[in-house]
Amino acid sequence: MSRRTTRLLSVLLVLPALILGGCGDESADEGAGGEGLSAVTVSGDFGAEPTVTWDGDFDPGKLETETLITGDGAEVEEGQQVFTRLWLGNGFTESKAYSTFGEDAKPELLTVGGDMTSAISAGLKGQTIGSRVVVASPPKDAFGEQGNPQLGIGNADPVLFVMDLVSVLPDGPSGSDEKPAGWAPAVEGDEKPTSLDFKGTPEPSDKLRVTTLIEGDGDPTEKGQTIYVNYLGQVYHGEKPFDSSYERGEPLDFELGAGGVVKGWDQGLTGIPVGSRVILAVPPDLGYGEKGNKDAGIKGTDTLYFVVDVLAAI
């Protein structure tokens, strides 16, 4: 249905096909003659880029974790997705390698217990929202034998992680129930939508239409924001959905207004309060046009109906 925007998170994943020789001495004993968190000083307020002072030979022999600021939010749970500000330092060169702090940068969405490095997992587990956590990591627990060429981190380089836990991505809408417009199909499914029922639904219009099922209690979305949504799509009188993120268990993120999704989404989801569940009726010219989408079974004359949960906007 749409294309995903490139995520900065990709540079944090281990790249098994790329192996970079360590900037440090790979034959050196891990942690020999060095220190972990005692060799650095990290200061600064939550949400602001940390100030890191390298005080000694940073070469931790094992993972070390310290909570510098304890947040008063909820404790994160296994499987939850957490918006996190990240600062990474190369312990060999004693320099910043990566940061998502700053006005123009956006936090990463990390899954607690997910496919992350051991160091990042250690910084998330058991923490509360609003916390700042620092992790000193030996090479094997940061990026493994491959290192991380994109960040200039070799396979023998220790890494310092500073993590600000900003918020949890909700798993569903939150707000007040609203009566949908008469043109809208019924949504089937108890907790999560499974399909749309078009029984009694009038013929579609050639205009984009939006109706609210749940009015979210968050701020309205704006163009240029990255929004996170769950959705289900079905053509008018279609027997089953042609796409569903609910079924995959993986929300979609995209930049609103950037053309990465069908025009009906860019237009219809702008100004929607975060936490809302809406139904969109997207005419062909704001969907896939005259060519349709053969792979999804969508003809050029099909009107597309979507139920969309707007989970977050950053």
pLDDT digits (tens, 9 = 90+) for 133-162: 999 999 999 999 999 999 999 999 999 999
227: closest CA among 248, 262, 251, 244? Answer: 251
Residue 10 reports pLDDT greater than 50:
no
Q: If you ran DSSP here, which 8-state letter would residue 82 be given?
A: E
Q: Which residue has the higher pLDDT, 115 or 9?
A: 115
Residue 259 banded pLDDT, cuts 50, 70, 90: very high
- Amino acid (1-letter code) at residue 314: I
Q: Which tokens in the block code for residue 197?
A: 């029922």
Instruction: Report the distance separating Cα 159 and Cα 11, nearest Å.
Output: 14
Q: Give 183-225 pLDDT, tens digit per residue.
A: 999 999 988 999 999 999 999 999 999 999 999 999 999 999 9
Instruction: Report the distance separating Cα 263 and Cα 241, nearest Å.
Output: 19
CA quadruple 201, 202, 207, 213: dihedral, nearest 10: -30
CA distances from 61 to 1, 54, 166, 238 (A): 47, 17, 29, 59
Q: DSSP letters along 120-147, please?
A: HHHHHTT-BTT-EEEEEE-HHHHTGGG-
Q: Which tokens in the block code for residue 305?
A: 């109906």
Q: For the chain, what is the mean pLDDT?
A: 90
pLDDT at 4: 36
What percent of the chain has a predicted confidence (pLDDT) above 90? 85
pLDDT at 136: 98
Does residue 99 sit in helix, strand or coil? strand
- Amino acid (1-letter code) at residue 275: G
CA quadruple 51, 57, 60, 66: dihedral, nearest 10: -30
The domains located in the chain, with CATH, are 8-168 (3.10.50.40), 175-313 (3.10.50.40)
Rg (CA), the chain: 23
Residue 91 banded pLDDT, cuts 50, 70, 90: very high
Q: Which residue has the higher pLDDT, 113 or 221?
A: 221
Sign of CA dihedral 16, 22, 26, 32: negative
- Amino acid (1-letter code) at residue 131: S
How buried is residue 190: exposed, middle or buried, by Cβ count under 10 Å (0-12/13-18/19+)? exposed
State residue 96 phi and psi, 5-degree precision: -70, 135
268: closest CA among 202, 212, 313, 219? Answer: 212
Q: Write down the residue that tokens 């910043």 correspond to.
A: 96
Full-model pTM: 0.84
